[in-house]
Structure 1
Amino acid sequence: MNNLVRFFLIIVVVSGILLGTISHLNTSQGYSGNNTLTVYNWGDYIDVELIKRFEKETGIKVIYETFDSNEAMMTKIQQGGTSYDVAVPSEYTIDKMRQDDLLIPLDHSKLPNLKNIDQRFMDLPFDPDNKYSVPYFWGTVGVVYNPSMINGKKITSWNDLWDPALKNEILLIDGAREVMGMGLNSLGYSLNDTNKKHLQEAKTKLDKLTPNVKAIVGDEIKMLMANEEASIGLVWSGDASEIMSENEDLDYVVPKEGSNLWFDNMVIPKTAKNVDGAHKFINFMLDPEVAAQNTDYVGYSTPNKAALKHLPKEVVEDERFYPSPELTEKLEVYENLGKRNLAYYNELFLQFKMHRK
């Protein structure tokens, strides 16, 4: 029995030494809890030079991890295996996360740069009073197209895509809300419609689009469109901007019936270990010059009104990517539809994809 006790005592002592050594190494390398910040963001969605600048200015070491979908991000935060201090989910996910008690309320007194955000993008239904989130980037869903490949035709309406002359010319992003939303908008319905009759009607109409659809793809749509593998693509506005920078023959339009107005916002998850550091990081990203540099790197539209004066005039006056208030009023933010309705959207979208085969 004494040998057993001695054995456990040795394990305890050795474990203590190991933990102490790890703690010392982490601290000496800048990885202690108070000066480390773990940021969880979309891939290639921040200028890495800004991370270096934040680290230099604050002494806080940033550990940067990426995700490729809101669902993957939310699942990992729910599991709690990693102590993420800042995350950047989209609007409907923020709504769900706050309902599921996965977010820490923001202390606005620690975010003086919040005043720089355009009031059009504050106090939206998915986060009243911006209690939990701060706008990071925003944009639209629309059509990028090459007029020279379709005999000079101009795309102005979703219904233009059903033209038989566009056979095998269209690429679609692999997203249920985006593709179903296109079908709903083309019929004059809301992007957040949950009427099953309307949804079936939209799916039936999408089936008729099948001859024109060349492929349903992911991020490779940018390369395919830039290389003129297709003449038309359903894309997010930021991707359109990147594609157009590679091929000047392309144009982008938000169809006249309306479309999606999306937001990615910064939040502090319940997993956060460095809440004070998280506020410092968010406030840093809201600085006008920082936001402008980040916008120039990423290519999406900034909600930071004060940052606009630091961006080229031809960028901020381009209504394709900074649409007028009159147009933004016609656009819809995705709502959290609930598990049952979202599952039905996904089911119809899967049926559409299977119909193509």
Structure 2
Amino acid sequence: MTRYPLIAVLAAWLVSNAAAEELHLYNWGDYINPQILGRFTEESGIKVSLDVYGSNEEMLAKLQAGATGYDLVFPSVHMHDSMAALGLLEKTHINQSEGFKNIDTAFLRAKSDPKGEYCLPYAWGTVGIFYNKSQVSKPIESWADFFAEAQLGKKVTMLDDVRETLGVGLIVNGKSVNSHNAEDLKQATDWLLQRKPLISAFTYDVQALVASGDVAAAHFFVGTSLIYAKSDPDNLFVVIPEEGATLYQEDMCMLKSAPNKENAKRFMEFFLRPEIAAMNAAQQMNGTINRAAIALLPAELRDNPQINPPEKVRAKLQIFEDLGRDLRQYDRAWTRVRTAD
């Protein structure tokens, strides 16, 4: 009489055990070295799946629409704060793990997580201008140069991103990218609207077009641009504009709804290893937050001023913060820019 209940218990255990050997990541398009995922699986036996998104807003909207099954997400630091406010994140105590001693605590920027009890800061970089020297009249050094090329009939693009692109308008007008002032935002919006006829597209899909010469210059992420620039160093260049730029930081966060919490924590601790952090930074060509990993980077990456800018450039970099309810102002302004003729 006990046979079938025992079988049922065994079956339930097998299902639970199988689920425990999985890990589901939801990350930006190409922001993690696939070799790292393979190495983690090889060492742990945990099968990793990866879904990708194109923006913080896309990721959050999908989760709020009811998407389930993800264990780790990789929000920018301002979205880390937004997700914390919504109660979406699990406290991991990753800051108590042995490898956390490698983390540069200057990157504990999330106001909701100043000690690193929830998320692991893991990557940072800047957003600038990627251009093809063969397609422009002179080297681009500023946003003024960027739009001067557009006035000459050259194709230029900007990111399809509310914060990044409105951020350019704020920066060139001497304002904070986190301004809550309606007049500051109007000035940035008007600046963009005046130049919209010069912008061929708002898009993320542009690296190959710049490399081929179909687009002369693009507003894009510096690290990803440098990956393409290696293929044609005589013509493909990346610059942080003289007026300033945005600095982004990506954090690794466990969702409160994560079905595989133990495996997610194991992956976070795996990423604390200097050699793993260095492997990711070298492939992504962005900055690492793991201090012990810096010495493991190739010199051309470690000493590259576009990836690790000098102090006078860093002083002009701004990082996004959570805007709270004022994000609606930005959304309305962005809709105005995107829908204007």
Q: TM-score, normalised by structure 1?
A: 0.84
2:320 is aligned with what amino acid? Answer: Y
CA distance in 2, matches of 1:255, 1:165: 18
The CA deviation at 1:331 is 1.5
CA distance in 2, matches of 1:178, 1:89: 15
Higher Rg of the two aligned structures:
1
The CA deviation at 1:314 is 1.0
The CA deviation at 1:299 is 3.1
CA distance in 1, matches of 2:207, 2:12: 45
> What are the within-5 Å matches in structure 2 for residues 1-357 of structure 1?
23=12, 26=15, 31-33=18-20, 35-78=21-64, 81-108=67-94, 110-125=96-111, 127-151=113-137, 153-163=138-148, 165-218=151-204, 220-248=205-233, 249-339=235-325, 341-355=326-340, 357=341
Aligned length: 337
Equivalent in the alignment of 1:10: none
CA distance in 1, matches of 2:122, 2:25: 13
The CA deviation at 1:47 is 2.4
Label 1:245 to 1:201 Cα distance change in 2 as closer, same or farther (>3 A).
same
Label 1:205 to 1:21 Cα distance change in 2 as closer, same or farther (>3 A).
same
The CA deviation at 1:54 is 1.5
Percent of paired sites with the same residue: 32
Label 1:301 to 1:126 Cα distance change in 2 as closer, same or farther (>3 A).
farther
CA distance in 1, matches of 2:9, 2:245: 56
Show structure 2 runs of 5+ residues with no match: none
Higher mean displacement: 131-140 or 105-114 = 105-114
2:334 is aligned with what amino acid? Answer: F
2:19 is aligned with what amino acid? Answer: S
CA deviation map 1:22-58 (0-9, x unaligned): 646646xx6233x332222223332233223222322
Label 1:43 to 1:211 Cα distance change in 2 as closer, same or farther (>3 A).
closer
Show structure 1 runs of 5+ residues with no match: 1-13
Label 1:217 to 1:157 Cα distance change in 2 as closer, same or farther (>3 A).
same
The CA deviation at 1:189 is 0.8
CA deviation map 1:198-252 (0-9, x unaligned): 211112222222343222223x211111111122111111221133123321211
**What secondary structure is seen at the aligned counterpart in 2 of 1:246?**
coil
The CA deviation at 1:193 is 1.5
Point out the structure with the larger helix share. 1
Contact 2:94 2:119 in 1 (8 A): no
CA deviation map 1:78-131 (0-9, x unaligned): 466524322211111100111112112231465222222233323454632223
Q: TM-score, normalised by structure 2?
A: 0.88
User: What is the RMSD of the two structures over their aligned residues, measured on CA atoms?
Assistant: 2.8
